[in-house]
Structure 1
Amino acid sequence: MPLTCRFYENEFPAENDVVVAVVTSIADGGSYVVLPEYDNAAGMILHSELSRRRIRSINKHIRVGRSDIVLVIRVDPEKRYIDLSKRLVPIEDVCVCQERYAKAKVNQIVRHAAEKLGYTEKEQLKDLCAKTVWFFDKKYANSGGSYEAFRRAVQNPSVLDACDIDEKTKEMLLQDIRHRLMPQAVKLRADFEVSCFAYEGIDAVRRALHAGLALSTEDLPIKINLIAPPLYVLTTQTLEWNKGLARLEQVLETIKASIEEQEGSFKLQQKVKLEDANKEVSGDDDDDEDVDEDDDSGSEGRNNLHQDSSHLTWCTCFLLV
């Protein structure tokens, strides 16, 4: 039988706490539930506490196996029993509870690490939780403190140095943390127009784009692709979307300042936004196409502008006068 442990240091929830309950059975007078956050502590929801409205069918309000957000009415630590209410849950607390519950699942990381370490006693798991999850929750004074600490440990393992655990346990925890909490790369995109009808013309446009691409780094690579003159798409992929957002806005400001200084014009068509990683968009293909300039078919091909090392490569560019 797998080891289990409560998510928090407190053995029972406090009165007026909003918690997650899983229904185990339905009786005549009420429904029996368990609280996963508190090591499946038993509780009961009277049918009169299911809804503020008249109840015509119990199954419309509660079902066996379903998780519900409930409010703690009374707690009896001696009898280890908890009275709960579904109808008294404040609407604004539902999302807060769901978010807290999702973050508290870092308990699964610790539990899995304990299994790999060969723990057989529940007290061993509790001790590990006390030194890791509960330690960070207490340190940051909120139940999501351990989640944030574990997330930082993905990039900075020294975060776990504050825990009173040996190197073997720390390494086992880090393996699970990296596996479960590794952030997903997000793609950011912005569309803009840049043109110049002054003497410098296309050279001014190229200089402006070069100025923007100069802000590209190995950690945060910037790409600029030509969709159709004068429309360009600016993209980047990053693990930290807020840093990516700030960098793309900086690139756009740099391009705007450069082209306007050379008597050109800049227009932002679409602000920086998150792009679906699985969605292919116009101007987002980096594959080069060979185009025969002597072809009489009249096809102009697709115009691409991308960064190759520290310079731009024009794959195809037809200037219409």
Structure 2
Amino acid sequence: MIINKRAFLAAAAAISMALPASWAVAQERLNVVATTGMIADAVTNIGGDLVEVQALMGAGVDPHAYRQTRTDIVALANADLVVWNGLYLEAQMEDFMVGLSEGGNVVAVAEAVPANLLLGSEDYEGRFDPHLWMNPNLWSRVVVNVRDALIDASPEGADAFNANAEAYLDQLRHLASYTNEVLSTVPVESRVVLSAHDAFNYFGNAFGFEVVGIQGISTESEAGLQRIGELVDMLVSRDIRAVFVETSVSDRNIQALIEGAAAEGHEVVIGGELFSDAMGEPGTYEGTYVGMIDHNATTISAALGGQSPEDGMLGLLN
């Protein structure tokens, strides 16, 4: 079948005129795929109307164990820009992402943070702890890397990206200040956060808390009976009465600790649910990076004897 070129162009023009203006705008946006919600939140805040953002991992998803699906592969291959954490956070995707970077615009935004600011990993020799978002000041450096990746991918949007990034970084400065203020009210002897895995080391380093994870930095590591027994002894001997569950990790080991302490006559309660490797549900306050960290700080402070507003930082702004 032979198609008349003039007729084809005329038909295409007619279809284009019939489409809504919003469709044309959407087609001009930078198509960005991010692995985690925290990175996607940064892209959304910096990119504004100039980007279309997709996060591969939603609420409650463990990035350490996540493997790309066929749908993910299509989205990643078609993206104008792919941003991922790196530092072996997306452990099961790392080989795929490295291969993808050889032929596309793919940026591991946490790996550009200076090594002297990173914490080591006990799970993997020669690697760093990837949970940088637990310290808002350190995460701000990742946000700057996200901004730079957007500018490299779409230089014409540089002015908007710079302005939006500065506004978002200002939010993070307020968040860091609030987090420090509310956590400083926790009695020094009570500043122990025991949770399912070692996701909170940057948090502890930034705000002066001892952090204890049942599992290591990766949720792929196993916690044996000896480890559970050692932690039960610690709870009893140090009179620790609150532990925390995580939204993206099974609470099985936490429940074993509580039961073990109870067998020793020591009552331990769940101090609250913390967001560790994933944010809350989309459309909620906790489904934003600021809301995630605000929730964690407020929950930890309240559970460990500190003073915090009932609605967290959000309550202070209303």
TM-score with structure 1 setting the length: 0.27
From the two aligned structures, give the one with the greater strand fraction: 1
| Rg comparison, structure with higher value | 1
Q: TM-score, normalised by structure 2?
A: 0.27
Q: Which has the higher contact order (CA 8 A, sep 6+)?
A: 2
